[in-house]
Structure 1
Amino acid sequence: MTLAQPGLPERGLDAAASQSAAEQATGWKTVLACAAGLTFGPSVITVFGFGAFINPLDREFGWSVSSISLGATIVAIMIMILAPLQGLLVDRFGGRRLVLWSIPAFGLSLCSMYFLPNNLLVFYLAWVVIPLCGLGIWPISYLRLTAGWFDKNLGLAFGVTNAGIGVGAVVVPLLTAFFISRYGWREAFVCLGVVALLVWPIAFLFLKESGRQASPMNMQGDTLAEATRTRPFWIAVAGFFLLGIFSASILVHHVRILIDAGIPPATATVLPAALGASLVVARLLTGWLLDRFPASWLMAIFLVGGAVAAGLYSRGPDLPLAILSAALVGLVVGAEFDVLSYIIPRYHGRKSFGRIYGVIFAVFQFASAIAAFAVGYSRSQLGSYAPAMMVLVGVCVVCALLFTQLGAYRFVAGERTAK
């Protein structure tokens, strides 16, 4: 019998373990850098920071609230247009390169708002250019980078990455309000641009493409065309269309719903921050749960909570019920993009992650743009949010039933399990 040389197997195992630990450490550093990028990226600053500029612009230029608010609609339309393009680019060139080019362009575009003239057309054009400058730092790039590093803890990794948006939803409105009150709205745009630029060194130092991006695990999966021939793809499209209706309806009109219910405006204005905090918790919790339970049933359970929240909003909740409703909404909003990020590699593999995510995200944004306007119109015509909220109850129920039909994962640990 031939004996192996002592120490060689052990050294080999130690080297493998060391390499695995080093890869995991780099992966988690990338995840934290991704979370930082999302905290101060366009998906937070252009959405959650926009509202703080409405009153200052109204006072200085005399523009109506509806005219200014059209800028937010333009942002939603631009996100819808850019998402599939970003998905294509991130699959082709990788996320790191797009992020490093886009952060400076986005930060400087925000700073340029300092020179905004009294011209609505220029204002609208700015909200076309700013999202375009941020092309590479919408969520798809960061999520694609995260997906390259993890499989076993994929849900938790997505949860931590997506939690950046929740943190931003709390921090950015407070920062924006501080900058405006302390320096003025023009200077506030410059300050936000500088904050966005400060993410660049973090991205440069810690944002890494996985060495496994070209491995069989990450190259395996459906093309976009192949995905469109599967049932899970169309269930996801329909489900996220309905989620877009629910999320935009509540988030855009949340404060006014509470004021209509008799909650003092000062209190109603603070409650969205509580929703943002619950959103952070929900994203982390959902990420952890996704590694242990089927995404389809988790999303269905959260949507039942969303239906309860919409029902409470339709009745005009008092403060305790309003807090409960905000927490339930936070669970849905916090879970939705963790779930989307997770089900794509599980049902379609990683090969075309960016393209598939971009298409479904564009559908979500399209539904959001329609719903935000439709709910406002319903309120103005009927004098109450109650009818729209009852429609949202039905939306949540139908959406929950859709998700239960997703079926078993097709890819587990990078392996195709079914055709």
Structure 2
Amino acid sequence: MKRPFYGWWIVAATFVTFGLSTGVPYYNMPLFYDYFMRDLNASRADITLGFPLAAVLTLWVGPTVLHRFSPRKLILVGTGLTCLALVGFGRMATSLMLYYAFWVVYTVGYFISGPPPHQIIVSHWFRLKRGTAMGILYVGVGVLGSAGTFLVKYLTDKYDYHAALTVLGVMVLLAWPIVLLLIKDKPSDIGQNPDGASVAPAETKIASRTYKELIESYPFWLLLIGSLCSIGSIGAVNFHMKLVFRDQGFVDDKQVLAAASTATILILWSSIGGRLAVGYLADKFPKKWVMFTSYFVTAATIPLLLRVTPEHDILLYTFAILFGFGMGADYMLIPLMAADRFGVNSVARAMAVILPVNTIGQTWFPYLVSHLHTWLGGYTGAMTVVLVVALLGAVAILMLPKKQPEAA
């Protein structure tokens, strides 16, 4: 009797491990920035420098480590490092240098247990339904990330932020039994084929494009610029949202934490809808238009953020829901678009360039916004710059040429 296709169990398992390794720490770290500023006696720029500095120092990790080891092993090691970093953030006393050191530990953990190994696993298990499977995978980030936000608010209110960070660190380690007991790197590991097919799919005859060919291709540059602008803008909003609220009238610690926690939860919940919808639409409609719409929606929410005040809390909900929906699709569309435009065999090389560049934008643009806040006298001018950059990203995707019909 033929064994049922195990791929959807892989999606369910990676749904959880991806949420734990990425959603829990990434989307909740900004909730601690104002506490770090106070306890370390540091500026806004000092605190937001941690992630971008670590991103530069760890760019070597992906190209030198990811292709050498099993994705399962990478997730185990990476979540261990993430746990160490989160617990360290809660125990670092008043040392800014130690703060930066823990960001390096966290970023190594992020690279080797976050998007890359999970994307690799799902890509091995699915071909025809890769967009749908990838969309479900990314929902885990929103679900587990929002669960972490509930914990942060509860533990910070009941105890302090140190306890909240420690619990988040331990929570990440829940990925270990799932990886060890349920996840398999490839369908061939248990005698199956992608999508549950009766025979293994024939390998494509199209050779991978060289780095030179990609760099000389202007659609590649449009995808690179478009994704850089959009991911950088999303990073700026996520990193600065709580500080924006504080500047706009949420002055009491509990009040600003409640506003930021509510927004973060709504963003993560609405991102679930964005990921599921776009995963389905990307399998049905031209990816260029799906990607442009997602990028434009994300950009259009930034003016709403600037109008959120304690007197206009309805705008908090409107901003968070719309921003989350657009944000949810942005990250997962990049590898899908790379495969669509350059061929599945060129995805590895395309993403080897795009992912590091996007990481720089994701981390350094929020740091630049910290300085823009000072230079322009507040977040109105700084977030206007973010809006312009986000719109440039949408325009770059709109400029992608029409895809040529595939040969029969």
TM-score by shorter chain over 0.5:
yes
CA contact (8 A) 2:298 2:327 kept: no
How far apart, CA to CA, are the structure 2 residues paired with 1:294 and 1:384?
40
User: Residue 19 of structure 2 corresponds to which residue in structure 1?
Assistant: 39
**2:129 matched residue in structure 1:** 153
Residue aligning to 1:49 = 28
- The residue identity in structure 1 corresponding to 2:327 is V
Residue 169, structure 1, aligned to residue 145, structure 2:
yes
CA distance in 2, matches of 1:241, 1:216: 34
RMSD: 3.3
Deviations 1:306-329 (A, max 9, x none): 343234445667333443232222
Please state if 1:287 is matched with 2:279.
yes
CA contact (8 A) 1:258 1:322 kept: no
1:365 and 2:359 equivalent?
yes
Q: Deviations along 1:379-398, whole A, 9 cap, x unmatched? A: 33333433334334433333
CA contact 2:81–2:108 (8 Å) conserved in 1: no
TM-aligned CA deviation for residue 364 of structure 1: 1.8
In structure 1, the residue matched to 2:302 is 310
- Quick one: distance in 1 between partners of 2:384 and 2:37? 33
- Structure 1 counterpart of 2:239: 252
Partner of 1:276: 268
In the alignment, what sits opposite 1:230? 217
In the other structure, the counterpart of 2:197 is none
Match of 1:319 in 2: 313
* Deviations 1:284-343, CA, capped at 9 Å, x for gaps: 111111111122111212233234323444566733344323222222211111211311
Q: What is the aligned partner in structure 2 of residue 387 from structure 1?
A: 381
Q: Is the 8 A contact 1:241 1:364 kept in 2?
A: yes
Equivalent position amino acid for 1:119 in 2:
S
Aligned partners of 1:394, 1:56: CA distance in 2, in Å? Answer: 30
What is the distance in 2 between the residues matched to 1:217 and 1:384?
54
2:41 equivalent in structure 1: 64
| Letter paired with 1:154 | R
Gap change, CA 1:227 and 1:381, over 3 Å in 2: closer
Change (3 A) 1:272 1:65: farther
Q: Are the aligned partners of 2:52 and 2:367 in contact in 1 as well (CA < 8 Å)?
A: no
Distance 2:65 2:210 in 1: 14
Aligned to 1:196: 172
Residue 136 of structure 1 corresponds to: 112
* 1:342 maps to 2:332: no
Distance 2:14 2:204 in 1: 19
Q: Is the 8 A contact 1:96 1:207 kept in 2?
A: yes
Quote the residue 1:12 is aligned against. Answer: none
Separation in 1, partners of 2:360, 2:112: 20
Matched pairs, number: 389
Name the counterpart of 2:371: 377
User: Contact 1:88/1:355 (CA < 8 Å) preserved in 2?
Assistant: no
**Preserved CA contact (<8 Å) 2:235 2:365:** yes
- Are the structure 2 counterparts of residues 164 and 261 from structure 1 closer, same or farther at C-alpha, using a change threshold of 3 Å? same
TM-score, with normalisation over the residues of structure 1? 0.79
Partner of 1:7: none
Structure 2: tracts of 5 or more residues without a match: 195-199
**Residue type at the aligned position of 1:64:** N
Residue type of the alignment partner of 1:116: M
CA distance in 2, matches of 1:95, 1:320: 43
Consecutive unaligned residues of structure 1, counting only runs of 5 or more, are: 1-14
Verify the 8 A CA contact 1:87 1:353 in the aligned structure 2.
no
Partners of 2:184 and 2:401 lie apart in 1 by: 33
**Higher Rg:** 1
Residue 28 of structure 1 corresponds to: 8
| Residues 240 and 32 of structure 1: CA distance in aligned 2, closer, same or farther (over 3 Å) | same
SS, match of residue 269 in structure 2 = helix
Instruction: Indicate conservation of the 8 Å contact 1:305/1:329, yes or no.
Output: yes
Cα distance in 2 between the residues matched to 1:175 and 1:137? 22
- Identity between Structure 1 and Structure 2 (%): 22
Distance 1:54 1:385 in 2: 16
